[in-house]
Every structure is written in structure tokens, then in C-alpha cells.
């Protein structure tokens, strides 16, 4: 519903302001329009955490015959010795199709490219779930989409249990005991402490998803108690929130026995750059804790991963997981991922680019379709992020600095938002009931979303033009684009660069849509389309005026990566990081956002949390911290031969589907198994054995 109101009735009498400016805000902000009805096609079966998994020793363990052949050949210790004292056991009752069969491969297709294997130092492996498949973290959140709200807390993972001290300041975590990296090296607190001391606390090393010490709270410390026990000390009392921060992306330690030797603190004369690049994609068999380890890389072609013979998770019959022997990652495009999954030459896609929806739906509806396709809730959203730093982040030149100052002007941000026709932006992606205008901030699928606390500026070009003039921008040279005031960069045309990735058609379409709509406003915006890795480097370095970005899980769940909801640390925000002097020059509302998020983390009181998120949402959307564009659902496409697919798995909620699906439990019934394995009967080679996969004989 839209409310129209005349906000400034008598303003026409004010002298010295043009008619346009005087008419500012004839269309008052309101709440977002009702989204078109679009129901999720499947809903999860909600369970408790103990229904999914537990840690316990089983009377016997099993492995695929071909892995047993390595044991028989004396190349691998027996399976019971490779497993921890108490493996993670998945409960059969929570597996939709029960205990599985070994074999087969999941063929992924991705648009990303690997920079190397040093995730801890910020290298991407190309996304699409490669890193999710090879790393394991203290806790796990992807599968929480199926956990009952009243029992919601992260799943134990590398940390198999934990307890809080009486005063709530200390959290003692017990690590899985006796688990090993994929090369057989013991996993223990040394790996955790290396990650804490030499990755997170080292300002020159930033892991891929940007975790920093503040991700776990300002002033938090971590210490080793013994090889299988670690102790956190927090300033707040019982901040259970940080358990979510210990999941994917933030606390997934790398193999310290390999990384340490290259780290500048331990290697004489090594630079941080050398450390980061010490494990290029060609470096194979990087030890992992995940279910599969990389054994083959061919540039612009493929990455192949084989089962980790030391994986520390089993089913209730004692079968060592994963069931699938191999993961393949074709290095192609994200659009090709959709096409191949629908056609059956790929096995999985997160259908997230609306440009592919209609065709994918049509093909999947056919009886003979090789893949299932199920839409979920509207969890995909895009926003326009203005760079809000004016104290040097990214070292802008005079023009860039002038744009930063405009970005910090609320009238300017309001002009931009009023000039956006979100309905048209969405329809340019796909027609039908998919997209809906997005105000920014929290998204409706989270229980914390409150429509009445969401400020939505409806499309009104007149208001936009008036606000631009109010912000001091007028087209002084009559070329159709507004100029800076005469004393700012010589009164030149305002020129704003818009950073976006060229890896996704959707990002490009939205950026182009924004540029066209800004042109109607009289604002010249210039596209800066870059491949994903380059785009990431530029936004991490603050080298952008505006950027169009697909939002992450934080705005959907609130409890996941809560710290990222506001610039709560110097390196945390997408659009406002610390300047050259290490400080953040917050606008007053940003400080309020930060305080609100910190208060949320510090309290466990549900009613208080709900109120805090209402405040957060109002601050965010009213002040346009970032400017929402569009929001729509995605669909999971998975080949029909896979079973144990949890019903209602969203493509993005607590994490991407590649985590939520629990791939280590997926299997292909024997009679449907393909012969697609590229490296049958092989295992990841231990370092020293040579590159690539090794055979038992």
C-alpha cells in the first residue's frame, strides 16, 4: 500500500529556492509495497539439533572397498585409526532417504576462478562451494534452516561441545579429539591458535570472508588450554551470538603444519604477499578437514576433488563419509551452471539469476527433465552501496573525495533512492511474480523483519530532482548532467563510478538499470564492470564510489554474521571501513547502527532483540545506509539421481546451499550411479608422494 502526502505545503513561499526544490518530498516515504504472492515450493521438516547429529564412538567402521585397498597395500592406516575418538555421527532418522551407498560424483559448474588455496590469507577458490567442501569450521550453520526456532543455535562441528563459565565471560570449547587433516597430520589446538594469532590477529592477513578479531567482539581473547581445549574470554556476558561467527567464513582454520612454514613471522625474509601466494591453484593436495581435497587443476577447465580418507564424520552404521567419491568443478560461467544443471550435464545449481528463470522452469517441468527444481523464499537481494568513508579509505582523488562527501549527504542519498524505479529494475530481469522492490536492510524472510519499521521511498523523479538541487547539484552547463558547485573540482560534471562484477548477468543488468535511471535524474554514472576477483579486491581496498552488490546471509538471518550488519569493526563493512588513520568517520546514524548491533549481540532477551532490530531497520532504511534495489526467490536445481536432499533446502539462508545440503550425506542409489568419476580408485596424495591423486597399487 502506498500513502501519498503533501509534506511541505507552504514551502513555495520560501525565497531563493527554485520551485523544484521547494516541492521536495511531495511523495512521502512509506512502507514497502506488498510483494506479489510467491510460495516456497517445499518447506523443511523442522527438527532439533540432536535429531541431526551427535558425537560418539561406534562399534565398527566401514569405508569404500577401494579405500580399503590402500589400507591393505600398507599405504593408509585402518579406518578406525583414521577417525577421531568420537566421530560426528549423522542420525539416520534425519536422512530423508536413509543410510547411503558409496560412489559417483557431483559435477559442479562455476563462474569463479581460483586464486589459490590460501583461504586464510584471503584467496578465493572460485566459490560455488569449493571452499565449503574443503574447509570445516568450529561451528556450522548452513543446515540450521531445518532447526526449530526454539532450539536454534549453531551446530557443533570442529568444536564438538562447549560450556560457559558461571559469570558468562568465558566459553570453553572442546575440539574433536584425534581427528586428522587429509594428509594424516593431527588436527588440534595448534591449528586453532595459528589461525587466531597469525591470521586473525595479524593485521596483514585477512581471510577470504573478511573475518577480523572484532568479528568475535572487541577485546575478545582466545587461549589454548590443552591440545583439545580452547578458551574464549569475552567482554560481554554470554554473547552466544559469536557461536554463529565461528561458522563458515570466519573460523575455518587452515593446516598450520603447512601454512606456518610460509608465514613471514616464521619464515625469514618472507613477505606477506609471498605467504598469500605460496599455494597457487597448481599446488595440489593442500591438506583439508573437509570431505574432499583437490587433486587436479586445469586453468579455465576444471578442479577435481577426491574423498578425504581421514574425514571425521560417519553415518549410524559406521560408514565413513562422504558417500560421494568425487566433486568436479567445471570452470565456466554462472549462467552455464544453470543451463548445465537443467540439461543434466551438471548436477547442481543455485538458480539465482532471474534471466534464467523462465527457461529453467519450462525445461524442468517436462517429465523427462533430468533435474528437480524448487523455488524457495525471497532471499536473494541486491543493494546499491555508496562509499561512506571520507577519511581516506581507498585513497580517492579530488573527484572521488567530492563524491564521498555527496554520498554522506542524506539529501543526495534520498535523491538517488527517489530516482530508482525498482519495479522496472525487477521487471527488466524477469517478468512475473518473482521480483519485488527492496527497501534495503533486513529482508522479509527473517523473523526480525518488521514492515512498519522499514522506510521505503517510492519512485518519484520530481522529488529526486528537487533533492539533488537541495544537495547543491545543478546542471550549470546545460549538458543534461548536474555539476559540482563551482568551488568543488572546478564545477565539473558530477561523475560517479559504479563497481559491479561482470561474472553475473544480473549484477550487470541491475547496474545498467541504475545507470539509465540516474541519467534521467541528471546524474552521470559510469559502469566499472570487473571480474569477480578483481571487483572483490577493489571493494576490499575501498576503491569505488558506488557498488551494486548481492547481499549475504546476514540480512536474512540476523543471527548469522550479526557483526556485519553495521560497521562494527574497522574492516567489517562493505561500504565504510577505516580510513588511512585507522579510524571510521561515522555519520551519527551509523554510530547508532553500530550501537544497536552491539546491544543486540550483548543481550539474549528475545523481546529486547526484536525491538533492537526494529530500531536497526529504521536507522538503515530511513538514512539509506545502503539503497535497496530488488529482492526475489532463488531455486535449487539438483539432478534427480541424488537422494538425501533435505526438503526445502534454500539456496541461501544461513549459508549457501552447498553447505545447507550437507553434501557429505548425499548419495546416488547403486542402480543410478553414473560412471562420471575422472579419477576412479584414487585418493588425494600426501605431500611428498607427489602431485595429483594417488592409487592403491
| Contact between 279 and ligand GLA per CB under 6 A | no
| Contact between 375 and ligand GLA per CB under 6 A | no
Helix axes 334-343, 357-365, angle to 10 degrees: 10
Burial class (CB in 10 A: 0-12, 13-18, 19+), 409: middle
Residue 231 Cβ, how far from ligand GLA at the closest point, in Å? 31
Helix (H, G, I), strand (E, B) or coil at 184: coil
- Cα separation, 249 vs 154, whole angstroms: 14
| Contact between 554 and ligand GLA per CB under 6 A | no
Q: Which three cell numbers stand for residue 585?
A: 568517520
Residue 496 Cβ, how far from ligand GLA at the closest point, in Å? 26
Q: Are 371 and 362 contacting, i.e. CB atoms less than 8 angstroms apart?
A: no
- Candidates 96-104, 123-131, 194-202, 637-645; binding stretch for ligand GLA (CB under 6 A): 123-131
Q: Which is nearer to ligand GLA, 40 or 80 (CB)?
A: 40
Q: Among 621, 599, 594, which residue's Cα sits nearest to residue 609? A: 599
Q: Are 415 and 584 contacting, i.e. CB atoms less than 8 angstroms apart?
A: no
Whose cell is 534495503? That residue is 440
Judged by CB under 6 A, which of 55, 61, 117, 127 binds ligand GLA? 127
Q: Which is nearer to ligand GLA, 127 or 323 (CB)?
A: 127
Residue 473: alpha-carbon gap to chain centroid: 37
Residue 444 Cβ, how far from ligand GLA at the closest point, in Å? 20
Contacts of 381 (CB under 8 A, 6+ apart): 438, 443, 550, 551, 555, 628, 629, 630, 631, 632
Q: Which three cell numbers stand for residue 648?
A: 526445502
Q: Which is nearer to ligand GLA, 188 or 503 (CB)?
A: 503
Q: Which is nearer to ligand GLA, 350 or 379 (CB)?
A: 350
Count how many residues are written for the chain: 697
Q: Where are the beta strands (DSSP E) in 277-325?
A: 292-298, 302-307, 313-315
As a whole number of Å, the CA-based R_g of the chain is 26
Residue 621 Cβ, how far from ligand GLA at the closest point, in Å? 25
- Candidates 121-129, 165-173, 192-200, 667-675; binding stretch for ligand GLA (CB under 6 A): 121-129
Q: Which three cell numbers stand for residue 336?
A: 552455464
Cis peptide, bond prior to residue 37, ω within 30 of zero: no
DSSP state of 573: -
Pairing of strands 326-331, 495-501: unpaired
Helix (H, G, I), strand (E, B) or coil at 514: helix
- Cα separation, 555 vs 574, whole angstroms: 13
Residue 511 Cβ, how far from ligand GLA at the closest point, in Å? 16
Residue 350 Cβ, how far from ligand GLA at the closest point, in Å? 4
Q: Which three cell numbers stand for residue 163?
A: 560450556
Site string for ligand GLA, 428-467 (x = CB under 6 A): ----------------------------------------
Residue 145 Cβ, how far from ligand GLA at the closest point, in Å? 15
Q: Which is nearer to ligand GLA, 112 or 684 (CB)?
A: 112
Q: Which is nearer to ligand GLA, 334 or 625 (CB)?
A: 334
Question: Which stretches of 324-409 are DSSP H helices?
Answer: 334-343, 357-365, 398-407
- Candidates 127-135, 295-303, 533-541, 688-696; binding stretch for ligand GLA (CB under 6 A): 127-135
- Cα separation, 12 vs 20, whole angstroms: 9
- Candidates 126-134, 261-269, 288-296, 571-579; binding stretch for ligand GLA (CB under 6 A): 126-134
Site string for ligand GLA, 637-676 (x = CB under 6 A): -------------------x-x------------------
Pairing of strands 155-156, 139-140: antiparallel
Judged by CB under 6 A, which of 128, 133, 143, 440 binds ligand GLA? 128
Site string for ligand GLA, 309-348 (x = CB under 6 A): -------------------------x--------------
Residue 129 Cβ, how far from ligand GLA at the closest point, in Å? 5
Number of residues interacting with ligand GLA: please give it, by CB under 6 A: 8
Q: Which is nearer to ligand GLA, 352 or 450 (CB)?
A: 352
| Contact between 632 and ligand GLA per CB under 6 A | no
- Candidates 29-37, 122-130, 284-292, 563-571; binding stretch for ligand GLA (CB under 6 A): 122-130
| Contact between 142 and ligand GLA per CB under 6 A | no
Question: Which stretches of 113-175 are DSSP H helices?
Answer: 130-134
Judged by CB under 6 A, which of 256, 350, 436, 598 binds ligand GLA? 350
Range 654-657, long-range pairs (CB < 8 A, 24+ positions): 654/141, 654/142, 654/143, 654/144, 654/145, 654/247, 654/553, 654/557, 654/560, 655/132, 655/141, 655/142, 655/247, 655/248, 655/553, 655/560, 656/129, 656/132, 656/142, 656/350, 657/129, 657/142, 657/348, 657/350
Q: Which is nearer to ligand GLA, 352 or 622 (CB)?
A: 352
- Candidates 85-93, 124-132, 443-451, 615-623; binding stretch for ligand GLA (CB under 6 A): 124-132
Q: Which is nearer to ligand GLA, 24 or 636 (CB)?
A: 636
Q: How many CA atoms lie within 13 A of 593 on its CB side?
A: 27
| Contact between 386 and ligand GLA per CB under 6 A | no
| Contact between 129 and ligand GLA per CB under 6 A | yes
| Contact between 207 and ligand GLA per CB under 6 A | no
Residue 553 Cβ, how far from ligand GLA at the closest point, in Å? 11
| Contact between 352 and ligand GLA per CB under 6 A | yes
Residue 498 Cβ, how far from ligand GLA at the closest point, in Å? 20
- Cα separation, 650 vs 658, whole angstroms: 10
Q: Which is nearer to ligand GLA, 352 or 411 (CB)?
A: 352
Q: Which is nearer to ligand GLA, 212 or 501 (CB)?
A: 501
**In this structure, what are the phi and psi dihedrals at residue 628, rounded to the nearest 5 degrees?**
-65, 150
Q: Which is nearer to ligand GLA, 122 or 129 (CB)?
A: 129
Q: Which is nearer to ligand GLA, 27 or 652 (CB)?
A: 652
Q: Which three cell numbers stand for residue 225?
A: 588450554
Residue 551: alpha-carbon gap to chain centroid: 8
**Secondary structure element (H or E) that encloses residue 330, with its range:** strand 326-331
Q: Which is nearer to ligand GLA, 198 or 352 (CB)?
A: 352
Pairing of strands 229-233, 139-140: unpaired
Q: Which is nearer to ligand GLA, 129 or 628 (CB)?
A: 129
Q: Which is nearer to ligand GLA, 484 or 656 (CB)?
A: 656
**Site residues (CB under 6 A) for ligand GLA?**
127-129, 334, 350, 352, 656, 658
Amino acid at each position: 500500500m502506498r500513502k501519498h502526502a503533501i509534506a511541505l505545503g507552504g514551502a513555495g513561499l520560501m525565497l531563493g529556492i527554485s520551485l523544484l526544490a521547494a516541492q521536495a518530498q511531495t511523495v512521502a516515504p512509506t512502507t514497502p509495497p506488498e510483494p506479489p504472492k510467491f510460495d516456497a515450493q517445499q518447506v523443511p521438516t523442522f527438527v532439533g539439533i540432536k535429531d541431526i547429529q551427535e558425537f560418539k564412538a561406534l562399534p565398527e567402521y566401514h569405508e569404500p572397498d577401494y579405500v580399503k585397498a590402500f589400507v591393505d597395500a600398507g599405504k593408509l592406516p585402518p579406518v578406525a585409526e583414521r577417525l577421531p575418538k568420537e566421530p560426528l555421527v549423522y542420525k539416520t532418522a534425519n536422512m530423508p532417504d536413509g543410510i547411503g551407498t558409496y560412489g559417483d560424483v557431483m559435477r559442479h559448474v562455476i563462474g569463479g576462478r581460483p586464486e589459490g588455496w590460501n583461504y586464510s590469507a584471503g584467496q578465493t577458490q572460485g566459490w560455488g562451494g569449493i571452499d565449503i567442501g574443503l574447509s570445516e569450521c568450529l561451528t556450522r550453520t548452513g543446515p540450521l534452516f531445518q532447526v526449530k526456532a526454539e532450539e536454534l543455535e549453531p551446530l557443533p562441528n570442529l568444536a564438538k561441545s562447549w560450556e560457559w563459565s558461571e559469570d558468562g565471560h568465558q566459553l570453553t570449547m572442546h575440539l574433536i579429539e584425534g581427528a586428522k587433516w587429509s594428509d594424516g597430520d593431527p588436527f588440534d589446538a595448534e591449528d586453532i591458535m595459528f589461525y587466531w594469532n597469525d591470521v586473525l590477529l595479524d593485521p596483514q592477513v585477512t581471510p577470504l570472508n573478511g573475518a577480523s578479531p572484532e568479528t568475535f567482539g572487541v577485546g575478545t581473547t582466545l587461549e589454548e588450554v590443552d591440545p583439545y581445549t580452547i578458551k574464549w574470554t569475552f567482554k560481554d556476558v554470554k554473547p552466544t551470538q559469536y557461536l554463529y561467527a565461528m561458522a563458515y567464513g570466519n573460523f575455518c582454520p587452515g593446516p598450520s603444519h603447512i601454512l606456518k612454514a610460509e608465514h613471514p613471522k616464521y619464515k625469514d625474509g618472507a613477505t606477506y604477499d609471498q605467504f598469500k601466494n605460496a599455494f597457487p591453484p597448481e599446488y595440489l593436495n593442500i591438506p583439508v578437514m573437509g570431505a574432499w581435497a583437490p587433486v587436479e587443476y586445469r586453468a579455465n577447465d576444471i578442479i577435481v576433488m577426491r574423498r578425504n580418507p581421514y574425514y571425521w564424520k560417519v553415518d549410524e552404521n559406521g560408514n565413513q563419509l562422504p558417500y560421494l567419491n568425487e566433486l568436479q568443478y567445471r570452470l565456466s560461467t554462472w549462467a552455464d551452471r544453470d543451463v548445465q544443471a537443467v540439461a543434466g550435464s551438471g548436477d547442481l545449481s543455485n538458480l539465482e539469476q532471474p534471466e534464467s528463470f523462465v527457461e529453467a522452469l519450462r525445461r524442468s517441468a517436462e517429465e523427462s527433465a533430468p533435474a528437480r527444481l524448487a523455488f524457495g523464499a525471497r532471499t536473494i537481494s541486491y543493494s546499491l552501496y555508496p562509499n561512506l568513508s571520507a577519511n581516506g579509505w581507498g585513497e580517492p582523488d579530488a573527484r572521488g573525495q567530492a563524491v564521498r562527501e555527496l554520498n554522506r549527504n542524506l539529501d543526495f542519498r534520498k535523491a538517488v533512492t527517489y530516482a530508482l524505479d525498482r519495479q522496472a529494475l525487477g521487471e527488466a530481469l524477469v517478468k512475473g511474480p518473482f521480483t519485488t522492490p527492496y527497501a534495503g536492510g533486513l529482508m522479509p524472510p527473517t523473523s526480525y523483519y518488521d514492515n512498519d519499521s522499514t522506510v521505503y521511498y517510492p519512485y518519484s523523479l520530481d522529488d529526486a530532482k528537487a533533492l539533488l538541487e537541495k544537495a547543491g547539484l545543478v546542471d550549470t552547463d546545460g549538458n543534461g548532467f548536474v555539476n559540482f558547485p563551482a568551488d568543488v573540482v572546478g564545477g565539473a560534471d558530477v561523475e560517479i563510478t559504479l563497481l559491479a562484477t561482470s561474472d553475473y548477468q544480473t549484477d550487470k543488468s541491475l547496474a545498467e538499470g541504475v545507470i539509465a535511471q540516474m541519467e534521467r535524474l541528471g546524474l552521470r554514472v559510469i559502469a566499472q564492470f570487473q571480474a569477480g576477483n578483481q571487483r572483490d579486491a577493489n571493494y576490499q581496498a575501498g576503491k569505488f564510489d558506488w557498488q551494486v552488490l548481492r547481499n549475504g546471509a546476514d540480512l536474512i538471518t540476523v543471527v548469522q554474521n550479526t557483526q556485519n550488519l553495521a560497521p562494527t569493526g574497522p574492516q567489517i563493512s562493505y561500504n565504510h571501513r577505516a580510513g588511512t588513520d585507522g579510524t571510521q568517520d561515522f555519520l551519527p546514524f551509523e554510530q547508532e547502527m553500530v550501537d544497536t548491533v552491539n546491544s543486540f549481540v550483548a543481550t539474549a532477551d528475545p523481546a529486547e532483540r526484536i525491538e533492537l532490530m526494529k530500531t536497526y531497520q529504521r536507522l538503515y532504511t530511513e538514512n539509506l545506509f545502503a539503497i535497496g534495489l530488488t529482492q526475489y526467490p532463488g531455486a535449487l536445481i539438483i539432478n534427480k539421481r541424488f537422494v538425501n536432499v533435505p526438503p526445502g533446502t534454500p539456496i541461501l539462508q544461513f549459508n549457501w546451499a552447498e553447505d545447507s545440503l550437507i553434501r557429505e550425506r548425499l548419495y546416488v542409489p547403486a542402480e543410478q550411479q553414473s560412471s562420471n568419476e575422472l579419477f576412479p580408485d584414487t585418493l588425494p596424495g600426501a605431500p611428498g608422494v607427489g602431485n595429483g591423486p594417488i592409487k592403491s597399487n
